[in-house]
Structure 1
Amino acid sequence: MTSIDHVDLNLLRVFQAIVEERGLTRAGERLALSQPAVSYSLGRLRSLFDDPLFIRTRSGMQPTPVALELTEIVGRALDTVREALRYAEHFDPATSTRTFRLSLSDAGEVAYLPVLCAALQKAAPRVKLVIEPLPVEEIEEALRSSRLDFAIGNLPALLSRTRHGLLFEEPYVCMTRERRGLPAGNSLKLEQFLAASHVQVRSLEHSHYTLDDALRAQGVGRNIALALPHFVAVPGVLAATDLFATLPHRLAHILNRGNAFRVYALPVHLPKAAVTMHWHEHFHEDEGNVWMRNLMIDILASFTKM
């Protein structure tokens, strides 16, 4: 039996990174190691476990059956070590060089990221922020394993599985480019909404893609002319066409700062989009996690006044 006294525990970090990234180069980038250093560590891991562990294929480094069995065990071990080390860490935002990883949709990047970066630059100038959008189904495990520190968005599927807090709720509105012949007033009639051609946003990073389910539940169907994976392309598309887009009203407010668009209230009642922040139970009392949570809560509280 191999003694733990003779094992470099950093090898387990390399193992986990290769499992999750499926490549030596990407694993090295994640750990700030060169590819030769990762290859050397993989050689030591293979010798330690007497198994190839990973097989190079066209789709990346595929784990062997032994590696698959080790993945959960190594993950739990690293989680335990990280949790223990956090108790020894005093977080001082003025001097900390900690990296926080946040899953945020493209809509969140447009709406929240500028003010968050400005606040961090002032309060914690050496702290690094990494934005890593993940599909909803991957977020819980990423929070547990410290691949992510937080996730922010309209994420109802995570409410029963993570620590979370409601940041704000916001209604949906309908937006189109300013032009002649548009309906007067600030509201669309149902027949006008149905007659229009629409942009549909179906992102795996948040739950706005359920919008059409809510409309269909009220017997309302949209004429979808364009389906997009993200909100970021919406203003350019609307500026060049007569299409309408239904989106959260704060995002519409930000995209319409030049008053190039007309924003309407919807002719049907839809549930508000609840924007929540999520983190893992393991890190609920962590000083840095608590500080960063409070900072984001303070910043995003301003959005309730928009």
Structure 2
Amino acid sequence: MTTLANMDLNLLRVFQAIAEEQSLTLAGERLHLSQPAVSYALRRLRAIFNDPLFIRTRTGMQPTPSALELAKPIARALQAVQDALSYAEQFEPSSTTRAFSLSMTDAAEMVFLPPLCEYMREQAPLARIHVEQVPKESIEEALRTGQLDFAIGHLPMLKSSTCHTLLFSETYVCLTRKRPGLPGHQALTVDEFMALSHVQVQSAESSHAQLDDIFRAHGLARPIALDIPHFSVLPSILARSDLAVTVPSRIARLFNANGQFAVYELPIAIPAVEVTLHWHQDFAGDIGSRWMRQAITDLLQDYGRQA
């Protein structure tokens, strides 16, 4: 019978590396082990679990059903050991050179990155922030494997598989260049809204992508004059045209810092969306991750209250 007393935890590291790399050679390179050493470890693992665990195929070492069942508890066990060891380490924000990986849309980058970078300059000047726009269907895996530390946005599909906290709720408004003849009241009527020519932003943000579904549900098909993939070019376009756009209220305030645009409430009720911070439970105990998570939460929750 195999127990902790006679179990080599390094064998579990080999199991995890093979499961993730699906290659003995790549697993060896990752662990700085020779291929014979990896093969020997795999033979020991097969004897311990009384199962082939990984089958060689044309596409790599494919896990058996037993290996698939073992993968999650082994990953949790290794992370628990790492978490225990990390308590002996000191994490000092002012001197850390750690890189933190975040996923967010271009709209979130425009709103969140300036205050976050200012905070990091003051509290962790040597740390690095790496931002990428990961497709929403790939975010959970990226968080689980450690490719990402955090994801920020309206990501309801992640709530069942990740740890998360609410940062703030967001509403939508309509933005257009100030000019004679515009309505003088705060909220547009349906006719006034439909009389405008609109910009449609094909954002990866799930809440923004649902806007047209909501408009159609109310029988409104916005007249679209321009489709663009990103938010960042909007101020220049709106300033030189009579186009209108429906955007998150914080984006509207950012664009309208000098007051050149008219900001209107929408003629229909658009449900407020929750902007959340997500991370994977396997890394929840990491000291540096906990510090960064708290920093983001405090900073952006406070930013949400001020907005």
Global fold match (TM > 0.5): yes
Q: Is the 8 A contact 2:79 2:283 kept in 1?
A: no
SS of aligned partner of 1:100: strand
Normalising by the residue count of structure 1, what TM-score does the alignment of the two structures yield? Answer: 0.76
Separation (CA, whole Å) in 1 of partners of 2:133 and 2:100: 13
Q: Is the 8 A contact 1:171 1:272 kept in 2?
A: yes
The CA deviation string for residues 36-56 of structure 1, in whole angstroms up to 9 with x for no partner, is xx8xx8xx669967xxxxxxx
SS of aligned partner of 1:247: strand
Superposed, which structure 2 residues align to 1:260-275 within 5 Å? 260-275=260-275
Q: Is the 8 A contact 1:87 1:286 kept in 2?
A: no
Superposed, which structure 2 residues align to 1:1-306 within 5 Å? 64-67=58-61, 69=63, 81=78, 84-89=81-86, 90=89, 91-300=91-300, 301-306=302-307
Q: Which residue of 2 aligns with 1:60?
A: none
Cα 1:6–1:158 change in 2 (3 A) is closer
Normalising by the residue count of structure 2, what TM-score does the alignment of the two structures yield? Answer: 0.76
The CA deviation string for residues 61-105 of structure 1, in whole angstroms up to 9 with x for no partner, is xx9422565997998677764553243223221222221110011
SS of aligned partner of 1:88: helix
Kindly state the Cα deviation for residue 185 of structure 1 after the two structures are TM-superposed: 2.4
Kindly state the Cα deviation for residue 123 of structure 1 after the two structures are TM-superposed: 1.0
Q: Is the 8 A contact 1:16 1:75 kept in 2?
A: no
Which structure is larger by alpha-carbon Rg, 1 or 2? 2
Q: Which residue of 2 aligns with 1:32?
A: none
Separation (CA, whole Å) in 2 of partners of 1:17 and 1:232: 38
SS of aligned partner of 2:224: strand
The letter of the residue matching 2:178 is E
- Structure 1 residue ranges without an equivalent (≥5): 20-26, 28-37, 50-62
SS of aligned partner of 2:100: strand
Larger deviation, residues 120-129 vs 110-119? 120-129
Runs of 4+ in 1 over 4 A off after TM superposition: 4-7, 12-19, 44-49, 67-83
Separation (CA, whole Å) in 1 of partners of 2:19 and 2:160: 30
Larger deviation, residues 68-77 vs 233-242? 68-77
Q: Is the 8 A contact 2:79 2:282 kept in 1?
A: no
Cα 1:134–1:206 change in 2 (3 A) is farther
Kindly state the Cα deviation for residue 134 of structure 1 after the two structures are TM-superposed: 0.6
Q: Is the 8 A contact 1:135 1:204 kept in 2?
A: yes
Separation (CA, whole Å) in 1 of partners of 2:83 and 2:191: 58
Cα 1:111–1:224 change in 2 (3 A) is same
Kindly state the Cα deviation for residue 106 of structure 1 after the two structures are TM-superposed: 0.6
Kindly state the Cα deviation for residue 290 of structure 1 after the two structures are TM-superposed: 1.8
Kindly state the Cα deviation for residue 6 of structure 1 after the two structures are TM-superposed: 11
Separation (CA, whole Å) in 2 of partners of 1:73 and 1:172: 44
Cα 1:253–1:46 change in 2 (3 A) is farther
Identity of aligned residues (%): 39
The CA deviation string for residues 7-53 of structure 1, in whole angstroms up to 9 with x for no partner, is 9x79x87996899xxxxxxx9xxxxxxxxxx8xx8xx669967xxxx
Larger deviation, residues 93-102 vs 79-88? 79-88
The letter of the residue matching 1:272 is A
SS of aligned partner of 2:210: helix
